[in-house]
Structure 1
Amino acid sequence: MIHILNKAGRSMLRPLDSLMNAKFVYWRPIVLVWVTCGIFAWISPALAISTISIEADTVVSPSVSLRKVKAELGLDGHMDLQAELRQKEDADWQALALGCAQAGHPAADEWRCERGEFRSANVRLPFNLLFKQIKADVPQYQVVASVRDASFSNQAGTQAAEKLNADVVLDLRQQADGWQWQAMLDWQGGELFWQPWYFAEGGHQLVANGHYAGDELAVEAANVTLAKVGKAALRARWKAGSLKDLFLDADRLELSAFYSLLLQPLLVDSALNKLDIAGQASVRFEMRQGDPVSALLVLNDVDLEDLDGRFALHGLNSRIPWSYDESHVAQLAYGGGHFLKIPLGEASVLADLNRYAVTMPQLYLPILDGALSLTDVSATRAAGHWHWHLRANLVPISMPALSHALGWPRMEGKVAAAIPMVTYSAGSLTANGDLLFQMFNGNVVVRNLHMQTPLEAASRLHADLEVRQLDLGDITRTFSFGAIEGKLDGDVRGLELSNWQPVGFDARLYSSPGSYRKKISQRAVENITALGGAGAAAAIQRSLLRFFSEFNYKRIGWHCQLRNDICQMGGVENTPQGYVIVEGSGIPAITVMGYNHHVGWSDLLARLRHVTENNPKPVID
């Protein structure tokens, strides 16, 4: 219903019954009501109208509906709109209010809304708005808007803003085939969260121009300035809502701000989600008809370090060109770094890039006094996933230097490894053969290695291990466990790691077959007792055995089946009372028993750290 009142308060138009229950289909229902008020605002002086009010039961559009609409325009220039709004995907109606303290001025071919404000359940948007017709013969318009101290949020919590201040200017000029436009956005302050990105402050600007016609929007030139990050120039074209063409050129972006502002929110579930990064990057990218055609990434003096201590690279420089139609050579070099606390030496890498394939015949990466030598390195991207393979050999590395770098007790000797063909495909890594490691004068073989999502926080590893002829003297001296002389074999079946933590395995450690010196010190007996054995330490203290510093043994054995953080333990044989961990032989001899068949895995690790770090007296459960 529409009422138009003169200064005496009498109706100048009878109620329009046809609009009592009107249902309009329009692109923006709020704009429809607002424009209607504006039309009457232009004619009100000629008709000596004091107040115009409009009421409508329902105003609908494909995406938004209004009901209980009440709009009023006063002679003093104020304008108010009240209604209930529901978006298509929402179940509930929300009350809204839209008003201007001062509106209009048709004589100047412009319409204003000064000290305006839009309010709803989760929105407060104070604004000033100017709509101006610049030329009458050729349709040309200008829209100038500013918001101050605005705030909003959606019900899902994926979009929100606080104390938002921004200015927008839009110029439109009609042409035969559409509209030519120019736009400026100056975001001066306030916080904005637009999942997954969070902008804590303003200082960002956009200046752009282009053309709009039908279902096609073209950005012919745009300059974007991101505070503390840098500037970028771009061109783009959308058709039917899909991005078809894009050209982006950004020079010397500050990586520290760029990473925290734009990249980190996209890397939450990856191994790159916690980086301390500094340096500069230049980026160029071009896409045509929806497909990438060229790119360039240049890094200048970049330092990056994983805050969880897993890896770091320093003095990183690169020039990586790419083209869909031509092959290129990529260059990358770094001055040093570390991987899992293992120092990396200076290295330089050259790679051939051919469309979506990368190949390197050989790559030599210095590590401490040895190196990792990679051969047959090849990678390609197909069907949206990366696929690569390589072979590797670990040139012998000094164990004293390696153990110092890892913060482990000093180990003697050297470690070397031969790694067969390793293949990665669509998030799954597999070793096509056995991995051989030489350490503690023995061998460790890794079989059936398989990893899922190795570069993500939820990575999982499956493997079997075979340990042969490890020197127990070297091991126990390294970890301050107490001296044990002899050889050790072992088998670990069904090893499963989640985020590099054990969640399941069947492990068995036992004395190697053969004839060799087998001795165990009193201190080693005490520490085995502290891990869950009992009786042996007490027997030593109650007998003449306390006068001996070492004992003979026939065999040593221990096994653990880990399930649900519980280790089900056993030894070389079971007895009615428990199980034998160390079976004595000769004179003097001692047998060490275990009585706890079920021990929490985390509790067992804590005890092991305790006995190796503090050399405690026996703990008997």
Structure 2
Amino acid sequence: MMAVMQAELSVARCALFMLLLLLPPMGNAVSRFVFTLDEISHPVFNVRTLQFDLVAGPQGKQLEIDIGEVAIKNRIWRHLKLQCQDFQLTRHEIACDAGRLRIAGKILPVTFRYALDPQRLLLTVKPGADESWRLALNWQNSIWQARLQISNGSNSLMAGWLPQDEHWPQLQAGSLNGVIDMAGRESEIATWAANLEVRALAFSDAQGLHAGERVVLRLDARATQKKAAWHWQGTLVWPSGEIFWQPFYFEGAGQQLTVGGMLYNDRLVVEQSALQMNGIGTIHFAGEIDRIGQRLGKISLQAEELELSTLFSSIIQPLTVDTALAETAARGKLDIDWCYQDGDTQSLVLKLQDVALTDTQGRFAVTGVNALIPWHSNQTAQGNIQLASGEILHIPLGEMETIFMTHAHGFSVLNLTVPVLDGGIAVENLEVKKASAGWQWRFNGKLLPVSMEKLTGVLEVTPMFGNLSGIVPQMAYADGVMTMEGVLVFEIFDGVAIARNLTFIEPLGRAPHLLLDVGMHHIDLDLLTRAYSFGNMQGRIDVEINDIELVNWQPVKFDARLVSSPGSYRKRISQAAVQNLTTLGGDSAASVIQRSFLQFFKDFGYKKIGWRCRLHGNICQMGGIEATDPAQHAFNQTEDYVLVQGSGIPAITITGYNRLVDWRELVKRLNHAIESGSPTIH
């Protein structure tokens, strides 16, 4: 290729000598000379079909060059025209100090000088008053050098070198300054170097998914060819500016990428590199890329003591939108060791140091987490995790430590006990795996006895007494839904409670959706009412709450029924409880008279208690002891119902009158009644 270029330049040189002989130096005669070159080839550029039209007359020499095509690497320009009104031609030099270049529909002022021996080309293009692109090209036998100096290069010219795709961000502003050097021998490039700075860069795409403002970038890179391989290294610094690259947002604050490697046989090899991220730490990586197949080869990445708070907020959280992690703050240190090969992750080892996670909505928090989490695609490995403390829904968790095993598709824990107040949760046979549809897990276990008094104390609700304990059946999670296989049985208020048909949709989402049925049998009313200002009741009750539906922990639907348990036991109700139950069912003139007459008695006997609420939306359809469905009374609000059927001396019967009740108002007034000890519920 170089020989072709040298031959063609020799022809051009001979033609120029002939011009000097043929063109008259002065006088009024006009001479014209036209000739054509088919091609000029060079490792940096390639030019095809050049037609020179030289005119010499009294006004001086004028040159016009029509260029069919110019190619610089993958960029091609066609149908260019160079005009020079003040053309200078000597035996040693061709010069044009005031030329115009027509390219891509634009006319740009240019100057050039071409020396014949030694061969040297100086070409300057000035698209604007403060913008210039200056190319210096030297030949000395078979050795050549080229330098491109850029001063305030405009974004319009830079944009021409970027992919013209509607999905690729397009430049709106920016300027380029710096120097690009290249050198070689004959048709080969031996070395190149670039020292460039981009200022005030702005870009965006049509979809609004990628954008940048006031971005400043500095690049210092160089490469040398040795035999068949290119050895290269470079540093890219981002001092300032903002970039949004869906879903991530970053601000330039001195981030720096230093990278070096080789390029051979269409394979890009990164031998050593370091990405310094402000506020996070330094990440080292190496690997290979198949440029032809656009495939990643073997890649390794290591980092130590990354600052988890910044890493979590800038990189992890944007990937966890619509989950609880999107509203979680983190702190601590993280080590990473990752290996990727043949299209898959081969190993990933994480080390957590003094990590804390806190949900900003107050749903959970853990502190003092130290863990080693090793994972390998072709073998099992043992990991461990330690927790200093934590809480879930304000329920405190104690210190714990466990060992687990990882395998190709997940991990497993044989036994794990999480302390909760004076009891705990014993998790058994926990199995977590990654399936095609997402993460899945299952476990079973036990609820170790927890004091209800302590539990209600930390929840800051009215104190309850007794212990909460039970058996946890098989729990499973898949496709964002947690289900319970069997029934959850636990002891409460000296009775037994059973939860069944549990379905928990998106438990870590922004609006968790819970479905279940609950039954409570032989509950001690004395334990249940003892701590409340509602009034004391003695006896036993059974409760069935079916079709429970909670959205974001707020009830939107259920069908609840409370009745006296069968059997023989003491049945008494206090004066305060009578008053509250009476107002719960709705006051009437008769109830006022009855309470006034019986106010001299401390408590009363009763035969049976019954209450029913079918909630749909925000309306509770009320009922009492009668067996009829409260839905039958939805439009008959005048029909009363019995809440307490009296028995013995003195005896009292409590009747309700309101069939339709606003649920939120009912709960609001009931809470006020319990807190104040003087409820007014209608």
After TM superposition, the score normalised by the length of structure 2 is: 0.76
Q: What is residue 242 of structure 1 aligned with on the other side?
A: 295
CA–CA separation in structure 1 for the residues paired with 2:417 and 2:606: 46
Residues 364-399 of structure 1 show CA distances to partners (whole Å, capped at 9, x for unaligned) of 222211121122222332335333322211111111
Count, aligned residues? 580
CA–CA separation in structure 2 for the residues paired with 1:168 and 1:149: 15
CA–CA separation in structure 1 for the residues paired with 2:679 and 2:563: 25
Q: What is residue 94 of structure 1 aligned with on the other side?
A: none
Matched, 1:580 2:641: yes
How far the C-alpha of 1:187 sits from its partner, in A, is: 0.7
Q: What is residue 348 of structure 1 aligned with on the other side?
A: 401
SS of structure 2 residue aligned to 1:106: strand
Q: Structure 1 unaligned segments of length 5 or more: list them.
A: 57-68, 82-98
2:622 to 569, 584, 587: 569
Matched, 1:611 2:673: yes
The letter for the 2-side match of 1:593 is: G
Moved more, 353-362 or 518-527: 518-527
Whether contact under 8 Å (2:215, 2:241) holds in the other structure is yes
Report the CA distance shift for 1:392/1:103 in structure 2 as closer, same or farther (over 3 A).
same
Q: What is residue 52 of structure 1 aligned with on the other side?
A: 100
Report the CA distance shift for 1:14/1:26 in structure 2 as closer, same or farther (over 3 A).
closer
CA–CA separation in structure 1 for the residues paired with 2:232 and 2:81: 27
How far the C-alpha of 1:100 sits from its partner, in A, is: 6.0
CA–CA separation in structure 1 for the residues paired with 2:574 and 2:614: 27
Q: What is residue 203 of structure 2 aligned with on the other side?
A: 152
CA–CA separation in structure 1 for the residues paired with 2:491 and 2:73: 73
Larger Rg belongs to: 2
How far the C-alpha of 1:200 sits from its partner, in A, is: 3.3
SS of structure 1 residue aligned to 2:530: helix
How far the C-alpha of 1:219 sits from its partner, in A, is: 2.3
2:459 to 401, 406, 415: 406
CA–CA separation in structure 2 for the residues paired with 1:262 and 1:457: 19
Q: What is residue 72 of structure 1 aligned with on the other side?
A: 108
Matched, 1:470 2:537: no
Q: What is residue 109 of structure 1 aligned with on the other side?
A: 146
CA–CA separation in structure 2 for the residues paired with 1:390 and 1:555: 42
Whether contact under 8 Å (1:37, 1:73) holds in the other structure is no
CA–CA separation in structure 2 for the residues paired with 1:616 and 1:295: 61
How far the C-alpha of 1:436 sits from its partner, in A, is: 0.6
Q: What is residue 502 of structure 1 aligned with on the other side?
A: 555
Whether contact under 8 Å (1:6, 1:49) holds in the other structure is no
Residues 436-492 of structure 1 show CA distances to partners (whole Å, capped at 9, x for unaligned) of 121111111011222233233343322211111222222223343232333221212
Whether contact under 8 Å (1:436, 1:445) holds in the other structure is yes
Report the CA distance shift for 1:319/1:476 in structure 2 as closer, same or farther (over 3 A).
same
Matched, 1:188 2:239: yes
CA–CA separation in structure 2 for the residues paired with 1:122 and 1:503: 52
The letter for the 1-side match of 2:297 is: K
Matched, 1:381 2:443: no
SS of structure 1 residue aligned to 2:324: coil
Residues 152-184 of structure 1 show CA distances to partners (whole Å, capped at 9, x for unaligned) of 333333222232222122324456656543232
Q: What is residue 59 of structure 1 aligned with on the other side?
A: none
- Amino-acid identity (%): 31
The letter for the 2-side match of 1:144 is: N
Whether contact under 8 Å (2:79, 2:103) holds in the other structure is no
How far the C-alpha of 1:413 sits from its partner, in A, is: 1.2
Whether contact under 8 Å (2:584, 2:656) holds in the other structure is no
Whether contact under 8 Å (1:529, 1:537) holds in the other structure is no
Whether contact under 8 Å (2:261, 2:269) holds in the other structure is yes
CA–CA separation in structure 1 for the residues paired with 2:464 and 2:60: 99
Report the CA distance shift for 1:531/1:327 in structure 2 as closer, same or farther (over 3 A).
same
Matched, 1:203 2:254: yes
CA–CA separation in structure 1 for the residues paired with 2:183 and 2:352: 47
Moved more, 545-554 or 447-456: 545-554
Report the CA distance shift for 1:151/1:441 in structure 2 as closer, same or farther (over 3 A).
same
Residues 287-328 of structure 1 show CA distances to partners (whole Å, capped at 9, x for unaligned) of 111122222111112222222222222221112222223322
Whether contact under 8 Å (1:3, 1:54) holds in the other structure is no
Q: What is residue 424 of structure 2 aligned with on the other side?
A: 371
Residues 410-437 of structure 1 show CA distances to partners (whole Å, capped at 9, x for unaligned) of 2211110111222223433222211012
How far the C-alpha of 1:215 sits from its partner, in A, is: 6.2
Whether contact under 8 Å (1:572, 1:581) holds in the other structure is yes
Q: What is residue 162 of structure 2 aligned with on the other side?
A: none
Whether contact under 8 Å (1:4, 1:49) holds in the other structure is no
CA–CA separation in structure 1 for the residues paired with 2:82 and 2:468: 83
CA–CA separation in structure 2 for the residues paired with 1:407 and 1:100: 71
Whether contact under 8 Å (1:488, 1:510) holds in the other structure is yes
The letter for the 1-side match of 2:646 is: S
Matched, 1:281 2:334: yes
CA–CA separation in structure 2 for the residues paired with 1:52 and 1:604: 86
Q: Structure 2 unaligned segments of length 5 or more: list them.
A: 1-50, 113-123, 138-144, 160-169
Moved more, 248-257 or 584-593: 584-593
CA–CA separation in structure 1 for the residues paired with 2:463 and 2:538: 18
Q: What is residue 172 of structure 2 aligned with on the other side?
A: 123
Q: What is residue 85 of structure 1 aligned with on the other side?
A: none
